[in-house]
Chains A and B, each alone.
Chain A
Amino acid sequence: MKTRALAIAALALGVAACGDESARRSTSDTGGTLVISVGGDPETLFPPLASTTTGQMIGDLVYDRLAEIGDSLNTVGDYGFQPRLAKTWDWAPDSLSIAFHIDAGARWHDGRPVRASDVAFTYRMYADSVNGSPFSTALESIDSVTASDSLTATVWFGEKSPMQFYDAVHTMLILPAHIIGSARGTALRDPSIARNPVGSGRFRFVKWNAAQSIELASDTANYRGRANLDRVILTIAPDFNTALTRLLGGEADLIEQVPAANVPDVAGDSAIRTILISSLDYNFVQLNLNDPANAGRPHPLFTDRELRRALTTALDRRRIVRNAYDSLASVAIGPTVRAYPTTDTALRQIPFSRDAAVRTLDSLGWKDSNGDGVRDRNGRKLEFALSVPGPSKARNTMAVLIQEQLRQAGVKVNIELLDFAAFIDRENKRNFDAVFHGWHVEPSPGGIRQTWGSAGAAPGGTNYGSYRNTVFDAHVDSALSSTTLAGRRKHFTMAYQTIIDDAPAIWFAEPKRVMAVHRRIRTPGVRPDAWWAGIPDWSIPAGERIPRDRAIPPR
């Protein structure tokens, strides 16, 4: 443990230094190959249907958005957004439309020019319900997209909102209408569309060897300038130990996420450096407020707010998180992440005190009447099942510690390890007492309406615990309609404080991502929401290249 702590401390110290050094030494030198180890194939490379991280990474490298979110992750107005396919944009005086002016030099990788009609086509691809894009919900604020002329695409909105620019540019990767043509629905599975993407990004697709590798090469004639690296290869290693061996053996250059237990392995290798990234993830134990046996009735235990608060009080969350993640996670402060500029990190928490928890449970009438160590009331034991996704080691570790700490307070927890599909099934059917869930959130905090608001509590929604509080909903609505950062922050703070006090969940960890990368690779611009976004600007100094960096990339 001591070695691990030292390694992590060294890593934390090294991060700032490496980040600065990388940015400073990034040169205009071009060449080199970046080999990224990933766990599996993407399901498709057609962006409207690509929901895996690997699929989205390749999409972001091969295609362009109209504009790209800035490092500050601001989602209000257009502040901080960087031009991409759209060189400039104009807001209509009533703010109900935005005209995007396409860069006249932009070309698809097959040489055809990018046109405004491609933008209108892209919107239809994402929004058409027949295509079943998981991202269509994010475009609900858009009424339509039209091509005013060959290089001007106008996005029309039904009503004004602070995030309408973000809605217009962040979700859609602009697609080539001349390649996809009239294909819709299941026709989009065709390999010419799903496995052979043609975009306008600074990398172009080269080949995909199923279950082995995917290769991208720099688009040397790109309108925004060629990427510094000659090529990026994603090599597939389903087993993490093999991926790690490849990294340490020099066969791979990057692993996007190293578990805390393996950080000393990479920190001890002089050829590898680690980068600590604030991620947009948080995890929590969600309590079902409805009876799993009958969703129309309240849960026999968790409908009681004081009982829920007592459970949180009984848990030393700091210790639990430290055990699972060492120093590579912070204790979650609510249904949000610290990386959001709208998050007040000083939110008032329910403090840990086992004595206080015991007193509360006693006062609620939960007492161990038969001396078996488990409290009971009116013939019902204070006992519940906690469903945990088996593949998540950290959540498994935390579940065991929760079980033990609650046992000391007279509460019995039965852990159910489930495979991922079965776990999701339980959540969708609301067939659980408590689940150890985690959310990866978007740069916009707007998703909270679905995950914790009343809107998501109905069947089919993702507020699996069915938490409902009109005060919380009102604050979220006010926050999302506020046009200033201060206003958004104020209302989000009140919303978060409301839900923290109500304790429909026990907030656990906000993990950080540890990325391991070969030292020769300079990595300016690692964004928390998409670490790969800056890859076109990554470089390898000529003097540090290895033989595979000098291999001639395919034409």
Chain B
Amino acid sequence: MAAFLIRRLIQGAIVVALVATLVFLLIHAAPGEPFADSLENPSVSESVRQTWRQAYGLDRPIGEQYARYVAAVFQGNLGFSTSRHRPVADVLADALPNTMLLMGTGLALGLFAGIAVAVAQVRRRGRRVDRLLSGVSLTFLAVPDFWLAMLVLVVFTRLFPLPIGGASDLFIDDFSTVGRIADRAKHLLLPALTLALLYFPIIARHQRAALLETLPAEYVVTARAKGVRESEVIRRHALRNAVLPIVTLLGIAFPALLTGAVFIERVFSWPGMGLVIVESIGSRDYPLLTSSVILSSAFVVIGSILADVVRRSLDPRIGDER
């Protein structure tokens, strides 16, 4: 296992370095430069623009900019955001916890709902409930995330006294500790629910297929022959073995914990990484975009390694096969 981990980590580091280099070169090659908003101001003189370029090192050759950036990153300095006038590390430190909270909650809710729906479908496979839940899953799978987010926002805030976007109340500083927790939960509810509605059909469909493949297995037939109740058979015998595809799926979804869901963050004014990345592309904020991509590609690598480790521990045969 140790050799496997070391090998995967080295591979991962190479992938992250390549992705970061590629993004750095691509964003510099894209037309436009930082400060585009300000540059449209007719009173900004060329000498002022030159001052800004010098201040951010943008007047140097791209190779030198890259070398300086890499050197700074190795010293723990992610650079200075040109669009937000803040250290990149501060911007990420603000956005990252929000995204992890939202995506973690959304994924957990989606996972729970997806597995529950799959189990319900398998227990009544071929019947009306199975077909109905398949239809519901397919519907949510087909719905564009932006539209669903807007729908959830408008409908639920009209039906219930829930906040319309944002991560916290404007007056949260006046609240007690319990009040603050409750307020955060209230603000989290709708974006997390939207994410769950988007994730659960994927989980449900994969889980249902995996369960149906497992049910004819000899150990399941044996359990039934012993008189174990159907719900027990599915929960204790079939589900445990059918969970591997979901682990792989979660490994793929893991990077989303960091990169966020752009449209959902936008609709719910959730100050997370998705918005940071999109806005940094629009404003050609080179240091912020490159650092965000380094982090997200690192998460892809970590997610993939974690998924492999979990799969190996759940099914030792995977390790033997290699």
Given A43-B85, A134-B48: A424 and B32 within 8 A (CB)? yes
B275 within 8 A of A: yes
**Contact A136 B45, beta carbon cutoff 8 Å:** yes
Mark the stretch among A88-96, A233-241, A292-300 that contacts chain B. A233-241
Q: Is A14 an interface residue (CB 8 A)?
A: no
- On chain A, the residues within 8 Å of B46 by CB distance are 459-461
Q: Are A419 and B268 in contact (CB under 8 A)?
A: no
Query: Is A450 an interface residue, CB under 8 A from the partner?
Result: yes
Our pick among B30, B48, B94 for the contact of A211 (Cβ within 8 Å) is: B94
Take A129-B51, A132-B51, A424-B32 as given contacts and tell me if A251 and B163 are in contact as well, using a CB distance cutoff of 8 Å: yes
B67 within 8 A of A: no
Does any Cβ of A come within 8 Å of B31's Cβ? yes
Q: With A137-B44, A450-B43 in contact, is A245–B85 under 8 Å at CB?
A: no
Given contacts A51-B41, A239-B269, A421 and B165 within 8 Å (CB-CB): no
Evaluate contact between A420 and B282: CB separation under 8 angstroms.
yes
- Pair count A-B, CB < 8 A: 150
Of chain A, the residue at the smallest CB distance from B47 is A129
Is B184 an interface position by the 8 A CB rule?
no
A211-249 contacts to B, CB under 8 A, are 211-213, 215, 233, 235-239, 241-242, 245-246, 249
List A residues 517-539 near B (Cβ within 8 Å): none
- B168 lies within 8 A of A212 (CB): yes
* B150 CB, nearest partner CB in chain A, Å: 6
B174 within 8 A of A: yes
- In contact, A238 and B284 (Cβ under 8 angstroms): no
1/0 contact string of B78-94 vs chain A (CB within 8 Å): 00100111100001001
Contacts of B268-300 to chain A: CB distance below 8 A: 268-269, 271, 275, 279, 282-284
The A interface, classified by DSSP as helix, strand, loop or mixed, is mixed
Q: Is the CB of B38 within 8 A of A237?
A: no
Taking CB atoms, residues of chain B closer than 8 Å to A270 are none
Which residues of the other chain, A, contact B153 by a CB distance below 8 angstroms? Answer: 242, 245
Q: Does A494 contact B (CB under 8 A)?
A: no
Report whether A421 and B43 are in contact in the complex, using a CB–CB cutoff of 8 Å. Answer: no
Query: What is the number of residues of chain A that contact chain B, defined by CB distance less than 8 Å?
Result: 67
Query: How many B residues face the partner with a CB closer than 8 A?
Result: 54
- Contact call A186/B267, Cβ cutoff below 8 A: no
Does B38 lie within 8 Å of A238, measured CB to CB?
Answer: no
Shortest Cβ gap from B97 to chain A (Å): 12
- Chain A residue numbers with a CB within 8 Å of B44 are 51, 134, 137
The contact of A242 among B47, B165, B173, by CB within 8 Å, is: B165
> Knowing A186-B55, A191-B86, A245-B164 touch, does A421 contact B271 (C-beta < 8 A)?
no
Mark A residues whose CB is within 8 Å of B.
35, 40-41, 43-44, 49, 51-52, 129-138, 185-186, 189, 191, 194-195, 207, 209-213, 215, 233, 235-239, 241-242, 245-246, 249, 251, 418-426, 428, 439, 442, 447, 450-451, 456, 459-462, 548, 551-552, 554
Listed A/B pairs (18) with beta-carbon separation below 8 Å = A35-B170, A44-B85, A51-B44, A129-B48, A132-B48, A134-B43, A189-B80, A194-B86, A235-B170, A237-B269, A246-B165, A418-B31, A420-B282, A421-B282, A424-B40, A450-B42, A459-B46, A548-B171
The 3 A-B pairs with the shortest beta carbon distances in the complex, nearest first, are A421-B32, A460-B46, A211-B271
7 further interface pairs, Cβ-Cβ under 8 Å (given A189-B85, A212-B166): A210-B271, A212-B167, A212-B168, A239-B266, A251-B163, A421-B283, A424-B40
